[in-house]
Structure 1
Amino acid sequence: MVTIWPLRSQTSNLRWKTITPQSDTLIIDSLTIYQNSFKVFCGDALLDDSAYYFDGNTRKFYSKTDCSDSLQLRYRVFSIDFQKPYQTIDTSMIYQNKGEVADFFYSYEEKPLNFFSDGGIKKSGSISRGISFGNSQDLSVNSTLNLQLSGEISNNMNILATVTDDNLPIQPDGNTNQIQEFDQVFIQLYGKEYKIIAGDFWLKKPTGYFMNYNKRAQGLYGQYSWGDEKNKWTAQGAGALSKGKFARNEIQGMEGSQGPYRLKGNENEPFIMVLSGTEKVYLDGKLLERGQEYDYVINYNSAEIIFTPRNQITKDVRIVVEFQYTDQNYARSLFQASINYESKKFDFWLNMYSEQDAKNQSLQQKLSTKDKLLLSKIGDTLELARTQSIDSVGFLDNQVTYKLMDSLGIDSVLVYSVSPDSAFYRATFTNVGVGNGNYIFDRFTAVGRVYKWVAPIGGVPQGDFEPSRLIVTPKKNAMISAGMNYRFNEKWKMMTEMSTSNNDINTFSRLNSEDNRAFGNKTTIDGLFHLRNDTTSKWLVSTGLDFEFRTKYFKEIERYRGVEFDRDWNVRNMQYQGQEVLAHVSGGIKHKDFGGVELKAQNYTLGEDYQGNRAQVLGDWSRKGFNASLDGSYLSANADGENTYLRHKSKISQEFGKIKIGFEDDHELNQFELGDTLLRTNSYQWYDWKVFLANADTLQNKFTVFYRERYDWKSDSTRLKSAAKGRSVGADYNWVTNETSTLTTLVSYRTLEIKDEQLIDQQPENTFLGRIDYRLNLWKNALTASTFYEVGSGLELKREFLYIEVNAGQGVYTWIDYNNDGVKDLNEFEVAQYQDQAKYIRVFTPSDEYVRTYSNEFNQTLFWRPERIWKSKGKVLKLLSRFSNQARFRVNRKMANQSVRTYNPLDRNIEDSSLISFNSTIRNTVFFNRTNPIFAADYTYSETGSKTLLASGFDARDIRFNALNFRWNLWRKFTINLEAEEGLKSSRADYTSGRDFSIQYHKVQPELVFQPSTTFRLSLNARYEEKRNDAEFGGESAFIGDVGLGLKWNQIEKGSLNAEVKIVSINYTGPQNSALAYEMLESLKPGRNYTWNVNYQRNLSKNLQISLQYNGRQSEESKTIHSGGVEVRAFF
């Protein structure tokens, strides 16, 4: 059964379908489906892609899951079927010359293939090479390549390619459901039976049970299929460099904190970069969806996850994140191969996977001969792989360096130094815990963190850092699996798979290699038949037998069992070892239309440490608006004592017309007995129930109102006592049927009451979350508006930043040695005013310190374009149609305290001591005669403000201005432009000195333009500006006047020339060697200054272009600065 859900718009490419779970292969749609948009839900739960098979091109789908509910498919389609040929001209009409003579005909001559011709290949992009030079900078060379190809090369051979030489060290934003993969570089050749990829590609889970992975790789991939629908073979293989390493983080939620939650690597690396699109986030075992409108957003570059108000994070939620992250310790290769055979009764597969570090090709981690010798001796005892991190590198002015000294009779103490004759050493410091190290953090500098030695007391270390590092060992993980499916008949089927793993956690050492290899087997027998011999009967009986065996040390590539398998059996974080046996038998009865019940009996044995028996009941029923579901289990286990684990989760609801009333509850009782009368402290019980009121599922506009309570009991070592109680109330509403507006709202409030502070380490907490998203579109788009408002609570990271030197012109900042000591201090970097000065970039580095915050975010846009409806109306309305308005208001505030002001988005007091983080932009522009060619004017009011929490303090900036602009075409060739502006620029910084100021400014800028044709433009411009710093910060003032002459020449398809020269006169009162002076003088000097620039661009041919650039400036008592560049660009 397949059901298509109704859509609001007939032009939408979003599709919803409901199907009954079955193992048969289905063709989902008649159009090609966008692969990354395909999502499958079992009821309300999003399924992992390993639970089904789907191919976007062929639209083939079949389910591998035991979902007891209907499956809901959500996806987007392209407007055509890519499997069909398309043509705009009938090829039979092409005239073939047979030698006759005709008065007139169109002749066609087939030409040999030219790969870069304009035939079936669509191409775009360019390649460029350039150099930059000047008398105040070194010569630098830059190059770029960007090429895209797509189309048909020949019959049954197509190409799709993206080639670039940009090596971007960042990942895309993770705040949307679909990710723009800007770092994918590949060439793909494909046809009906095959596909070959060279470059970046994804490796997905193959057919089978044990082998599971979702890898991003860079190398060569091939796939080939042959046979027919009755007997089909598919083979694939890959050899590549792995772009990431798999990691799994289990995180306990924090009461009232939506995040961010920091992810860590397998070696406990605190600062990693997650590969985009590789993460899977689970909340209490439920797979979540990425996107601000869904469940969570992720910053791939800082490896931080923030949850949206759709899921309130409390102390009780269980967060599991599985992901791939970049690992630059070694070059990492992988090899994969598989072959599959499919027929009506029999399937077979053979899979091979191997991923290994190149031990002799270390990257960011340098290994000496001594280090390698150490690794060869420690075997699998990885905690012994620690070595000193002091490196003799010579003096470097762009890094933190130390000198070695003797202190208090202790040899070789590192002391921070900037002296070129002694600061020869660089060190990496590791936090080893309080009282375990001899160094402490001292201070920040513009090039990194500085550490200081502290003397031990009584032989006991007093610090928490050491100049040492834990060497990451090279590893190898490989697996081979082979299996088969056999369908005896329509009622019975069997699956069996054999697998062997080879996991070496230190390939430098041959010691302890006996634990590398292991073996596994999985066998299942399933039956499904009608209750009676009548095949039309809707009652089905199911039965199953499942057996899994793993020898000790079996190591999977990635998790293949359920995400909470270890919690289901109470073995999470336990160090049990031994061979594993997992067996279960199941039976159930189900009605095709209404639901059914299933019983399972399970046994799990883990060596001699653990043995558990578990009974589970699963049931669901749906009929005439009544819906019910149950998942209950009871576990009895022996492991360091008796353990019993009783749990159930149920949901029941009834529809009354358009209204649905329901009840949910969730209960767990987990007791670890110690003797006959004692309970271990990890014993607990909780009961969570919720009652809700909602509208029927068939309605498009949806609302839900709920009330929820949770009770917690903890062990006091003799019995379970009441520890905490939580209450929650909330509602959400989605209004989507109105053609002119849509509204989405969500709100929830939770209180946590602590019953016994001795049993639970938690403070009472009140948490409020809310979101409003409203969009309006009226009167033929004359008025468009959007409103987004969200409140919540979470954490704010204290950030550090450092400055890294790059080639001149490729940076953003310049260094000015204000105190002439040769040391790069934090307060000596300014935003470069000229390209030759831009020699540094600023990099924010995360710390491990967070501050609790309460936040609100508000976004408002308003566009008013009355000319769309009043332009042809009467005199008054026609006059009013000349006025239009564009307004934007965006603010993001995070406060340390919770109060009414916390939720006020209009509060912009940056100096408030409780304000932790702040970003705000307000801009409103009123236009008059916006598109009139004769006369136009506009008025703009703008405010931008920011406050950033740094590890050493705050950095705050604020800019406000009013601007009035006029444009008047006096005659056909002459135009007058006039701009007047007044405003305030202020800066506050408590992490350093010399950066506090408040500058009031006024300026006027007239311009006379002479443009006799579309190819030539000459302009005479001037500016007068007054700047005054507030008396509280020094009272400095500057008076700036400049006169300039500009020229623009442009000839279509040939080239263009832009040139400008200015004379700038500055009168300044105050010291010149300061950040304030740099801001007020705009990087120039008091007195008379000259600036000039010339840019020339010439098209040498249709696909070849050359660009020349020259800039210069000269100030009194300063040398003339010259800089320029040449670039040649070829277009494809």
Structure 2
Amino acid sequence: MIKNSFLCIFLFMGVLINAQNNSEDFRSEKIRVVKDTVQIDSVSINPLKFRLLDAKQKPVHFSEYQVNYTEAFLIIDSKKYREITVEYYRFPKFLTKVYSPFDKRLIVPNTTNTGKLYSLTTNKKPSDIKLFDGLKTSGYITRGLTTGNNQNAVTNSAMDLTIEGKLSKDVAIRANIFDTNIPLQENGYSQNITDFDRIFIELYSKNWRIKAGDVNLKNEDSHFLNFEKQVAGLEVAAIIAENARVSASGAVVRGRFSAFNFVGIESNQGPYKVVGPNNEPAIVIIAGSDRVYVNGIQIRRGGNKDYTIDYNLAEISFNTTYPITNDMRIRIEFQYSDINYTRFITYEKGHYKSDIFSVKGYFYSENDAKNQPVQLSLTEAQKQILANAGNNRELMVAESAFIDAFSENRILYKKVTVGTTEIFEYTTDENDELYTVTFTNVGTNNGDYILDRTIAIGTIFSYVGSNMGNYDPIVQLFAPTALQVAVANARYSPNAKTVINAEAAVSNNDLNLFSDIDDDQNKGLATKIRWTQIVSDKKWQLLSDVNYQFIHRNFRTVQRFQPVEFNRDWNLVNPTGNQQQIATQISLHDKKKNTLSYSFNHLSFSDNFNGSKHEFNSKIKLDSTRFYINSSMLNNTSDIRDDRFIRIKAAAEQHFSKSWMGGFFNFESNAGRNRNTSDFINTSHRFKEYEGYFGLGDTAKVYAKLGFNYRDNDSIRSNNFTEINHRKTFYINSRIVQNKNATLNVFANYRITKNAFAEDEKSLHSKWIYHQRLFGNFLNFGTVYETSSGNIPRQDYIYVETEPGQGYYTWRDYNNDGIKDFDEFEIAEFQDQANYLRVPLPNLRYIATQRAKWSQSLTLNAGRRSTASGFKKILSHFQNQTFLNVVNEQERTGNTFHLNPFDFNDRTLIGLNLHFRNSFYFNRNLRKYSTVYTYGSSRAKQQFFIGNQRIKTKLHQIEFAHKIGTYWLLDVMGKTSENNLETDNFNTRNYEIKAHEVQPKISYLHSKNQRFSVYYHYTYKQNQLQDFEELKQQKFGLEYVFTGKKQQQLNANFTAFFNIFNGNPNSPVGYQMLEGLQNGKNYTWDILYNQKLNSFLNISLNYLGRKSENSDTIHTGSIQLRAVF
């Protein structure tokens, strides 16, 4: 039915299209407006048939732009219209062609030496063949192979390539290709999430376009099929006639649409955990697919905007300058990675339009390939369960256990009998009959198992008795689904005052392709018709708008098409039945965009809801005064309740020459009563909000805005409206200084909440940003200070084995029990040992904190005065750089504020990251008694589910470099350091290591291209805890560096280590002190060779080797080819 309807639409469009005259002079250009003046064409254009459309393909009123038809350029507001479509006719060639009796290319100036104009022979040099000749390219392609006698051969590749330009006169290409198989984060989380629109190849001309790769499918022209989806596939679009366009897409879907709603916690900036549609915590959000709304208004993503989001962990955090309150209704719409089945999508659309009539058709199909599961492996029994379940998800469960082979990298169970009950018990005995078991959270006291503990490779569950736990050994089955939506949309405008729009849609939504049960609920219909009429068009324009909408109870579409808070606006609670909505509106508009409007809406659901709403809105600007009012009154009746919902929001603002002031009032009263008892419904609420503010300056330059907000909230207590709390908010938002030498921004928000039935609350959010340059750039400093409240997660993670060399961690079986414990994983010192990744698990446990942040940079650059004399000349040899960054999170208790980022009281300290580094230079980079003294320190405290971890480091280091004569270079480095680690539950990992190091190095500079170095390194380390381990290490080394004239480079290094270690080398402390080496004699060597093969191709050869007294020689080699564009 759907496909037939869609075919009829396109056949009808084809007849209309073929009836039109196709003119080669017609042009339709989509232009991104960067400047107010836009050059449309190179020749004059016809003013009689010129149309300008905005980004939503709606005509732009002629008063909004100017056109110079002779010169073919357009003047339009680039801030208001970022993207436009221009449709026009060029004048014919015989009118625009330049006529001349001579070819101007053959005319030369009189001063030209005509004796050199002709030659009997032409010497032509053979042209070099260039890759991507004529195209703009940037990026690289890398392919490599690594192998060795301690690891298998592994390949790695990376590509980040951009191509743009013309392939021919009429065809252009645009491509962006990105791919990598290397983990993106040092902690080993290898989930590869890249921005969409990064991998694609697009060919295009004036009349067609083909795009393959990451495609952003988007439709904003249809009411019932309004969506945006990021897919991987192919998209084709073409202008097939003067007024007709078609496009088709086919792709593999990379994500499924979902939405998550929650209410903000007072003064909690997050992070907040985002879960999937079935409360799944372990989801990965597709990058760039998120849309966040607060109280129905979309907010902006970005570190300097409103919020940030961690796509890997599905966590959202709000910036300090966007304070969160418990009155905020937050909705996140997103796509998440769902690859249970291979899912295909097709999307076709066609569009025909004339001066008074247009018609559009759309067909969308999204289907799971039920016989091509990706992450699932369904047995025949599980398929039968799905066949019997219909659309009831509660019936789609099955036993999860299956017999499996022993593996030290998996959690395995055996079956044992407790009384008469057969249960699963964790085991590491490979002689048992082993099972892999998946446990599902079924709710408190609904299951027989509990989460016992988490080890390095996974989570272990244990049996506690019938209905005494919250987990069962079952797995949720996911049925393959299919959705098709066909839409026809028509617009008729017989004159400039009348517009009639109509849209009809049909859908087929099958929630279980394995089952025929409930298939009678699959199909649905939706229609909408709207008539807009200009009744009077004088000084004030009078418009009428009538709108009718019908939605069948079974109609489903791709994404939300109703307003974000449609349910709240209409007091909808689980409405069922067919939906009908009638809306009428009368409005007045003038040329200054002042508006007055009244509208009446009626909404009904055939089973259980009827509602009527009256709305009055106005927006008026009188010289320097602006005000608006939005008000509505809703009366609705359902099968169990009657409601009256009144909303009023009004604001006024007065502008003066250099200042402004304003205020607003916001009122809501939603009173619902039970139809049987006439008692108030507990969800009834009422609030009043007042705000006043005053501002100075220009918000685009230097300004300051101060304001005060008061709000009181009422709820139902003892069947009466009772004040629950009232809140006072004082705020300032300013840019006090902004010039080429200084910037000062200040934001502060202080809120006091008086609660009638709970403790009072206070909150403070502030951010200060100050940058200053003084004395001609001699002194530069920057300061950022920030305070806020939020959460810190108690992070869970596991280790996952990967290909050797592709990980970041190594496993050291310190107790020789064959079990991978958390305290047995170390950061790998050598590439061939890096065979584990650390994968963070979804955070479900958070600790409330108060944050204080301080970031400071300071640079004293006297070197800029090198041309001075006297004392200033001496001063010019010196330079100093200081960097400090502190993020301090204290436990939130009561109404106390944590304003001091340097408060390290461990009793209340929850999280800490402190880094300080100061470097003092003499003759920096000159190799003439060049000296640099560096002091650094860091402190960190991290929250893990296995306990807290505290790290402290301290460093004093001095480096000296001096060139002796022409050929010799002396380098000396001396260093003392402290490295402390303290954990709550792993005493064997605790250490306080003090180290003293000295390294002289002398280099012979044979030429600019060759250097030979000899160095000696002495290190003494001692642990101040437990076994007081001690290391005396001597290191002798040779180094050779050669740089060839043909862009080739060779680095060779040989080092001999002589370690005298007192302690247990097979321990965390021993591994840390020996840095992965063994006690006694150790040898390492490496050779790195780079060669530039041609203008864009490079090859790298790398060989690493090491040998210890008690181990075999380890060889690791790699080759890498890199093309740079």
User: Given the alignment of the two structures, is residue 410 of structure 1 paired with residue 421 of structure 2, yes or no?
Assistant: yes
Alpha-carbon shift at residue 700 of structure 1 (Å)? 2.9
Counterparts of 1:757-906 in structure 2, within 5 Å, are 763-868=759-864, 870-898=865-893, 902-906=898-902
Gap runs ≥5 in structure 1:
1-23, 34-48, 62-69, 79-83, 85-90, 174-178, 758-762
CA contact (8 A) 2:414 2:432 kept: yes
Question: Aligned with 2:832: secondary structure?
Answer: helix
User: Are the counterparts in 2 of residues 54 and 60 from structure 1 also a CA contact under 8 Å?
Assistant: no
Whether the aligned pair in 1 keeps the contact of 2:386 and 2:514 (CA below 8 Å) is yes
Shift of 1:1109: 2.4
Q: Which residue pairs with 1:680 in the alignment?
A: 681
Q: Which residue of 2 aligns with 1:730?
A: 731
| Mapped partners of 1:226, 1:636: distance in 2 | 51
Task: From the superposition, tell whether residues 723 and 510 of structure 1 become closer, same or farther in structure 2 (CA, over 3 Å).
Answer: same
Which piece of structure 1 moves more, 149-158 or 1093-1102?
A: 1093-1102
After superposition, the C-alpha distances for 1:644-674 in whole angstroms (9 at most, x for unaligned) are 1111111122234433222212111111112
Distance 1:849 1:374 in 2: 35
Which stretch of structure 1 is more off in the superposition, 274-283 or 1097-1106? Answer: 1097-1106
Per the TM alignment, residue 403 of structure 1 is displaced from its structure 2 partner at its CA by 1.8
The question of whether the paired residues in 2 share the 8 Å contact of 1:594 and 1:623 is answered with: no
Q: Distance in 2 between matches of 1:473 and 1:172?
A: 37
**Corresponding letter in the other structure for 2:468:** Q
Aligned to 1:999: 993
Query: Structure 1 residues 1108 and 698 mapped into 2: Cα distance closer, same or farther (>3 Å)?
Result: closer
Partner in structure 1 of residue 271 of structure 2: 260
In structure 2, the residue matched to 1:424 is 434
Q: Is the 8 A contact 2:65 2:77 kept in 1?
A: no
The answer to whether the Cα contact below 8 Å between 1:685 and 1:712 also exists between their aligned partners in 2 is yes
Displacement after TM superposition at 1:805 (Å): 1.5
Give the whole-Å Cα distance in 2 for the aligned partners of 1:545 and 1:108: 77
Q: 1:263 to 1:185 in 2, by over 3 A?
A: same
Residue identity in the other structure for 2:462: K
Measure the CA separation in 1 of the matches of 2:951 and 2:683: 50
1:951-966 superposed matches below 5 A: 951-966=945-960
Tell me how far 1:247 sits from its aligned partner.
0.8
Aligned to 2:69: none
CA offset at residue 482 of structure 1?
Answer: 1.0
Structure 1 window deviating more from structure 2 (660-669 vs 1052-1061): it is 1052-1061
Q: Identify the match of residue 181 of structure 1 among 195, 203, 206.
A: 195
- 1:353 aligned onto 2:357: no
Which moved further from structure 2: 1112-1121 or 1069-1078? 1112-1121
After the TM superposition, which residues 684-703 of structure 1 pair with which residues of structure 2 at under 5 Å, given as runs? 684-695=685-696, 700-703=701-704
Moved more, 878-887 or 1088-1097: 1088-1097
Alignment of 1:1059-1098 (within 5 A): 1059-1098=1052-1091
Map Cα deviations across residues 50-79 of structure 1 (whole Å, 9 max, x no partner).
Answer: 977799xxx999xxxxxxxx999379999x
- 1:691 to 1:25, Cα distance in 2 relative to 1, 3 A: farther
1:202 Cα offset (Å): 0.6
Q: Which residue identity lines up with residue 253 of structure 2 in the other structure?
A: S
Shift of 1:786: 2.3
Per-residue CA deviations over 1:316-369 (Å, capped at 9, x if unaligned) read 111111111111211111100111123332222111111121111111222111
Cα shift readout 1:532-581 (whole Å, capped 9, x = no counterpart): 4xxxx3x221211111111111112111221111111011xx22211111
C-alpha contact 2:426 2:462 (8 A) present in aligned 1: yes
Check the 8 A contact 1:218/1:242 in 2, yes or no.
yes
> 2:1035 aligns to what?
1042
**2:642 aligned residue:** 642
Give the alignment of 1:152-171 within 5 angstroms: 152-166=166-180
Structure 2 residues without counterparts, runs of 5 or longer: 1-28, 39-53, 67-75, 85-89, 91-102, 109-114, 188-192
d(CA) in 1 for partners of 2:697, 2:919: 45
Cα displacement string for residues 73-104 of structure 1 (whole angstroms, at most 9, x for unaligned residues):
379999xxxxx9xxxxxx986999xxx99555
Residue in structure 2 matched with residue 626 of structure 1 by the alignment:
625
Distance (Å, rounded) in 2 between the aligned partners of 1:279 and 1:577: 29
Q: What residue in structure 2 maps to residue 944 of structure 1?
A: 938
Listed one character per residue, the Cα deviations across residues 815-861 of structure 1 (whole Å, up to 9, x for unaligned) are 11110111111111111112222121222222311111111222222
* Equivalent residue number for residue 669 of structure 2: 669
* 2:612 maps to 1:616: no
Contact 1:206 1:351 in 2 (8 A): no
The 8 Å contact of residues 1096 and 1107 in structure 1, kept in 2 or not, is answered as yes
The amino acid of 1:193's aligned partner reads: N
Aligned partner of residue 847 in structure 1, secondary structure: coil
- The aligned residue for residue 1058 of structure 1 is 1051
Indicate the structure whose relative CO is greater, using CA pairs within 8 Å and at least 6 residues apart: 2
Question: Is residue 748 of structure 1 aligned with residue 749 of structure 2?
Answer: yes
Aligned to 1:37: none
Maintained 8 Å contact 1:95/1:108:
no
**C-alpha spacing 1:30/1:130, structure 2 compared with 1 (3 Å):** closer
* 1:71-470 paired onto structure 2 within 5 Å: 73=79, 117=131, 119-166=133-180, 181=195, 184-228=198-242, 232-411=243-422, 413-422=423-432, 424-456=434-466, 461-470=467-476
1:486 matched to 2:489? The reply is no
Q: Is contact 1:171-1:276 (8 Å) kept?
A: no
Once residues 986 and 59 of structure 2 are traced to their aligned partners in structure 1, the CA distance between those partners, rounded to angstroms, is 57
Conservation of the 8 A alpha-carbon contact between 1:769 and 1:792 = yes
1:523 Cα deviation (Å)?
A: 1.0
Letter in 2 for 1:1065: F
Aligned twin of 2:11 = none
Indicate if the aligned counterparts of 1:170 and 1:301 stay in contact, CA closer than 8 A.
no
Kept in 2: contact 1:680–1:717 (CA 8 A) = no
Contact 2:32 2:83 in 1 (8 A): no
1:721 aligns with 722
| Counterpart residue number, 1:1110 | 1103
Describe the shift of the 1:95–1:1119 C-alpha distance in structure 2 as closer, same or farther (beyond 3 A): farther
Q: How many Å separate the matches in 1 of 2:902 and 2:57?
A: 49
TM-score scaled by structure 1?
A: 0.87
When residues 680 and 1103 of structure 1 are mapped into structure 2, their CA distance, relative to the original with a 3 A threshold, is closer
The alignment partner of 1:302 has SS state of coil
Match of 1:46 in 2: none
Contact 2:56 2:220 in 1 (8 A): no
1:600 maps to which residue? 599
8 Å contact from structure 1 (residues 700, 737) kept in 2 = yes
Contact residue 55 and residue 83 of structure 2 kept, 8 A: no
Q: 1:1088 to 1:273 in 2, by over 3 A?
A: same
- In the alignment of these two chains, the number of paired residues is 1040
Distance 2:337 2:1013 in 1: 52
Q: Is the 8 A contact 1:1110 1:1124 kept in 2?
A: yes
The normalised TM-score by structure 2 is: 0.87
How far 1:1098 sits from its partner (Å)?
3.7
Secondary structure of 1:679's partner? coil
Quick one: structure 1 residues 112 and 1088, their matched pair in 2 at CA, closer, same or farther if it must change by over 3 Å? closer
The equivalent of 1:587 in structure 2 is: 586
Q: Distance in 1 between matches of 2:791 and 2:346?
A: 41
Q: 1-side partners of 2:816 and 2:677: how far apart?
A: 77
User: 1:604 and 1:645 mapped to 2: Cα distance?
Assistant: 14
C-alpha contact (below 8 Å) 2:196/2:287 kept by paired residues: no
Measure how far apart 1:1034 and its partner are: 2.9
Which amino acid letter does the alignment assign opposite residue 967 of structure 1? A
Indicate the residue corresponding to 1:980 in structure 2.
Answer: 974
3-state secondary structure, aligned to 2:385: helix
Q: Distance in 2 between matches of 1:1025 and 1:112?
A: 59
